[in-house]
Structure 1
Amino acid sequence: MDKEITLYTNPWSRGAIAHWMLEEVGVPYRIEVLDYKGQMKTPQYLAINPMGKVPAIVHGNRVVTETAAICAYLADAFPEAGLAPPPAERAAYYRWLFFGAGPMETALSLSACDFEPTPEQQMQMGFGTKARVLDTLADALRDRRHIAGDRFSAADVYVGSFVGWSMQFGTIDKRPEFVAYWDGLKDRPAHRRVEEQTERMAPPPVAQETSQG
């Protein structure tokens, strides 16, 4: 696993989650910043991610897209970082990592678009309702520092990022469980380094397309 890692990202996208994960892993990597004005849709980048979205990583001859998959891949590729439990103890880790990538992200994304599913639509959608998702998440975080066990893991990088962003932008209420959880994550040195690098890479955008991974 000594091949170079390249992160394709935009500083103001879900790529920040993959960036945080790389900082937690602590291995060398380089960043390719893509803008929203066409660089994500060039033939060169579409050969890496046909979705034309960021983030994506290239590790040697391996390509990984989708933010939760990048987090899981890096945790497995670099086990010395301790960002995934032992295989026999991963039930909660898998559950909450994919809860974040599935019900939570879908519910929050649709809510941001002012879409409220009807009772009939709720039966077709994996998240049901945003209220049910947030109640489930709050119950899981109550009196806990980490979402999946007693140690920080890649699941915290993913779920924590969405909790922090969603409170910042008003997509979710600042429930005590969410505030306490994010307060325990946001000052991690790796996260602070990403914030500092993000500010240097690009100013905050006025408006931009959602970049989903």
Structure 2
Amino acid sequence: MTDDLIFYTNPMSRGRIVRWMLEEVGVPYRTEIIEYGPAMKSPDYLAINPMGKVPAIRRGDTVVTECAAICAWLADAYPDTGLAPAQADRAAYYRWLFFAAGPLEAAVTSRALEVEVPVERERMVGYGNFGAVMDTLEHAVSASDYIAGPEFSAADVYVGSHVGWGLAFGTIEQRPAFETYFARLSKREAYRCALAMDEAVAPPQAG
């Protein structure tokens, strides 16, 4: 097995987060498009990700799945990119990466599925309630230009992807702080390149 960096994805998936991160890292990688259906559940792909989901990355014998983990791993694997803060300054970086991977995604998914948590049971779910998550996210993106401080990091790729999708598809509230934050991120060359690459291989939209 070579040490080539391989990216398993589908353009209609959360793989778009990792594509953006890979373009920020700027190292060569090979893309393997995995179609939904039998290909994603095939023995060959299940050996990469037993969940049968994309994205995943592989370098040599190392396999990483889960978008937040992939973003963090790439930032550490290629430290010269400066996409992770210094070890002593990572509190906010870790905090918001895992906030987006946990409470934010869970709250947004529940809302999209029209799952309402009874007030008396909010303490049973990690996010409490949707409004609290939106308020917390608004505070986080308003505190500085970037989610973990004054410098762009891998956490912005992950959090920013959630914000951008949420604004586009109406799964998060249209708050000015969210719009300002994502507008800043979407000007980045790596974001624009990644978007164009995924759009180029995405299936045509009906209608």
TM-score interval, smaller chain: over 0.9
Partner of residue 184, structure 1: 184
- Any idea what the Cα deviations from partners look like across 1:45-73, whole Å, max 9, x if unmatched? 00110000111000111000011000000
Letter of the aligned partner of 1:99 in structure 2?
F
1:84 matches 2:61: no
Alignment of 1:112-127 (within 5 A): 112-127=112-127
8 Å CA contact 1:144–1:181 kept in 2: the answer is: no
* SS of equivalent to 1:165: helix
User: What residue number does 1:197 align with?
Assistant: 197
- Specify which structure has the bigger relative contact order, considering alpha-carbon pairs within 8 angstroms and separated by 6 or more residues: 1
SS in 2 for 1:152: coil
User: 1:107 offset after TM fit, Å?
Assistant: 0.6
Mapped contact 2:134–2:173 kept (Cα < 8 A): no
Q: How many angstroms apart in 1 are the aligned matches of 2:49 and 2:122?
A: 31
Residue 145 of structure 1 is matched in structure 2 by 145
Compute the TM-score of the two structures, normalised by the length of structure 2.
0.96
- Deviation digits for residues 129-150 of structure 1, max 9, x if unmatched? 1110010010122252200011
Runs of 4+ residues over 6 Å off in structure 1: none
SS at 2:64 equivalent: strand
1:20 equivalent in alignment to 2:3: no
Residue in 1 aligned with 2:39?
A: 39
Residue identity opposite 2:14 in structure 1: R
State the AA in 2 paired with 1:33.
I
Contact 2:9 2:31 in 1 (8 A): yes
Q: Which residue of 2 aligns with 1:166?
A: 166
- Percent identity for Structure 1 against Structure 2: 56
TM superposition shift of 1:120: 3.4
- Aligned to 2:51, the other structure's residue is in SS state coil
SS in 1 for 2:58: strand
C-alpha distance in structure 2 between counterparts of 1:41 and 1:23, whole Å: 27
Q: Give the aligned residue type for 2:63.
A: V
| Paired residue type of 2:97 | L
CA distance in 1 between counterparts of 2:204 and 2:119 reads 38
The superposition leaves residues 154-213 of structure 1 with CA deviations (integer Å, 9 ceiling, x where unpaired) of 00000000000001001112101000000000121001011111121122566xxxxxxx
Residue 6 of structure 1 aligns with an amino acid whose one-letter code is I
Two-structure CA RMSD over aligned residues (Å): 1.3
Unaligned regions of 5+ residues in structure 2, if any?
none
- Contact 2:71–2:154, Cα closer than 8 Å, also in 1: yes
Instruction: Go from structure 1 to structure 2 and tell me whether the alpha carbon gap of 1:46 and 1:22 turns closer, same or farther (over 3 Å shift).
Output: same
Aligned to 1:209: none
Number of aligned residue pairs:
205
Partner Cα separation in structure 2 for residue 204 and residue 173 of structure 1: 28
The runs of 5 or more residues in structure 1 that have no matched partner are: 207-213
